[in-house]
Amino acid sequence: MPLVCPHCGSDQVRSAELHAHDGVRHLLFSTPWRCRTCRQRFWTTNPFKPLLLLTAVGALVGVTTWFALDQNPGMPAGQVPNTLPHARAAEGDAKAQLQLGLRYAEGDGVIQNDKEAAKWFALAARQGLPEAEYHYGLMLLKGRGVVQDYHAAFNWIEKPAKRGYAKAQYSLGELYRYGTGTAINKARAYLWFNLAAAQGVDAAVKARDSLVWQLKPEQVVEMQEEARQMTRATHPPATAPKPTSAPATP
């Protein structure tokens, strides 16, 4: 049956454009037309629009459900919260506490929050995790999420540095170099830069070399020897296996 204008009965009609003020019902379920004779605009029901809407909603629900189930395949619902960093961190897992601190510090998957980051770094640091000690020291050094405290920052950064954590060794060298949280000591700065440089920290190489000319030769020799001793203490050489003696020939 040809489409006719409900106002004048003319069959001279053409499709019209949709407008934002047409209303949700018309936008979702109808098609607009305009009569060429009387210029009136009218609507007819479009049976395909509801089908397209239902198909789109069904697809969205299906994809959402698939992603939700795929996050924890084969895992009982009661065990899902225990896999989250928050749950494991709250239970005292130092690595999860460090991970959570890094997320809050960087705004990774959560709203960036220095106070929360410092809290989780502190909890992990008190359990002796070197990376957490280092990051908590940096928070104290910069006053991020905690009251700035140079002396406490020095103490926390020194702990992992002594255990061979390269980033902490470089930062400790900077603290000695500029007298932050401790007295200025260029020789000690050279020592820590030297240790960090040996582990591949490029900035430590440049910092160490810039201090050589500010020290006496005997100071350089003394710090190099101390660096060797500390390296042996934190990275003891592997013990070579004892050679097995060949069986005696009868």
Q: Classify domain 85-234 at the CATH superfamily level.
A: Tetratricopeptide repeat domain (1.25.40.10)
Q: What is the CA radius of gyration of the chain?
A: 35
Query: How crowded is the C-beta side of 206, counted as CA atoms within 13 Å?
Result: 2
How many helices and strands (H and E) does the chain possess?
11, 3
Q: What percent of the chain has pLDDT over 90?
A: 56
pLDDT at 79: 40
pLDDT digits (tens, 9 = 90+) for 79-105: 434 445 788 999 999 999 999 999 999
Q: Over 50: is that where the pLDDT of 144 sits?
A: yes
202 and 132 Cβ atoms separated by less than 8 Å: no
Each residue's pLDDT tens digit, 5-51:
777 767 776 776 766 666 666 666 677 767 777 777 766 776 666 66
Task: Please state, in angstroms and rounded to a whole number, the distance separating the CA atoms of residues 244 and 230.
Answer: 33
Average pLDDT over residues 204-211: 96
244's tokens: 């097995």
Of the candidate ranges 104-113, 118-127, 191-200, 228-237, the one whose mean pLDDT is the lowest: 228-237
User: Which residue type is seen at 87?
Assistant: A
Domain residues of the chain, as ranges?
A: 1-48, 85-234
Contact 142, 152 (CB under 8 A): no
pLDDT tier, 201 (very low <50, low <70, confident <90, very high otherwise): very high
